[in-house]
Structure 1
Amino acid sequence: MNILFLHGLESKLSPEKRVILEKYGNVIAPELDYKSNPNMIQHLYDAYQTQDINAIIGSSMGGFAGYHLANSLSICALLFNPALPYRNTIEQIVPVSIPINQSLYMRIVLGGQDTVIKAKDNMDFFAQNVAAKTDYAITIKSDLGHQIPVDVFEEETKAFFKALCY
């Protein structure tokens, strides 16, 4: 299994989280510069559309890109506090040229204490953008902020892959 991990803005995959993901397969974790590339979704689509990617995991801005990429490539996704409802300071263009096939399953983890990307705003986004073919599992963790602690990452990753029967 190949897992594409998309980190957040000015972030990267920590060694501890990489070890967790490696329990489930080969981890592909490109370093992404969202600030200098407003066409990151198109870039990711071009880079991975012909590769055998089985799951996408993204956090924050990586969750935003992961959401659109998963829907385009019809790949299941685990998204932590995705920056879907707003990206005030960082321009990211959702290309109209890539296909929209819809992911079959998305697990969304939102932080009830997240002051960067408010859970309510993400819930509003999903209420307005429900995909007909996608099964959603949306969890709001009341004590979770924007950063995802290793134990929460591990718990949610395990639940995600269990739901996929891997």
Structure 2
Amino acid sequence: MTILYLHGLESKLSPSKRSVLERFGTVVAPDLDYHKNPNVFDLLLKLNKEHKFDVAIGSSMGGFMAYYFANTVNRPALLFNPALPHRPVTQNIPAINTLNTASTLHFALGGQDDIIKANDNLKWLSKNRLPNTAIKISIHNQMGHQIPLAIFENEANEFFRQLDLLK
């Protein structure tokens, strides 16, 4: 399995979280500059031609990009506090009504996130729900915007377990 991991605006994939994901497959985690490159989405599509990603995983701004990527190339995605309702940088992405649908979207939201509030994501999802997409939402009441390793690991385990059940 080839996993696309998309980091947040001012972050990178930590070695401990990479280690969690490597139990499930090969991890490709490009270093993205969302501020300077408004065409990150096009870069992801080019990377997909090279790597043929099976799943996308992203956090914050990376969750935003993973949402659009997954729905464009019809792949499952695990999204941690995705910046769907609002984001601080502009990215050129496809319009919602032109998207395909991902088979599965798994959201992990922080109940204490003061950057991207869980309720804002829930409202956004209720207005922009794509048909034929299975959605799982986990709200971690004590989690903020940063994803503790234990929650990251539990969500990854559950996401990949669900994918195995769908095969």
Which of the five TM-score ranges fits, normalised by the shorter chain? Answer: over 0.9
Contact 1:34 1:40 in 2 (8 A): yes
Name the residue aligned to 2:23. 23
* Length, aligned pairs only: 163
Distance apart, 1:21 and its partner CA = 0.3
Name the residue aligned to 1:70. 70
Could you list the runs of 5+ residues in structure 1 that have no partner in the other structure?
Answer: none
Percent sequence identity is 47
Distance apart, 1:139 and its partner CA = 1.1
Distance apart, 1:50 and its partner CA = 5.4
Please list every run of at least 4 consecutive aligned residues from structure 1 whose deviation after the TM superposition is greater than 6 angstroms: none
Name the residue aligned to 1:120. 119
Q: State the distance in 2 between where 1:150 and 1:144 align.
A: 11
Give TM-score, length-normalised by structure 1: 0.94
Q: Cα RMSD over matched residues?
A: 1.3
Name the residue aligned to 1:102. 101
Contact 1:7 1:58 in 2 (8 A): yes
Q: State the distance in 2 between where 1:95 and 1:122 align.
A: 19
Matches of residues 141-156 of structure 1 in structure 2 within 5 Å?
A: 141-156=140-155
Could you list the runs of 5+ residues in structure 2 that have no partner in the other structure?
Answer: none
Task: Letter of the 2:78 partner, please give it.
Answer: L
Contact 1:49 1:73 in 2 (8 A): no
Per residue, is there more helix in 1 or in 2? 2
**1:63-105 residue CA offsets vs partner (Å, 9 max, x unmatched):** 0000000000000000000000001x31112135xx6221000
**1:31-81 residue CA offsets vs partner (Å, 9 max, x unmatched):** 000000111112212321453211100000000000000000000000000
Give TM-score, length-normalised by structure 2: 0.93
Matches of residues 54-93 of structure 1 in structure 2 within 5 Å?
A: 54-87=54-87, 89-93=88-92
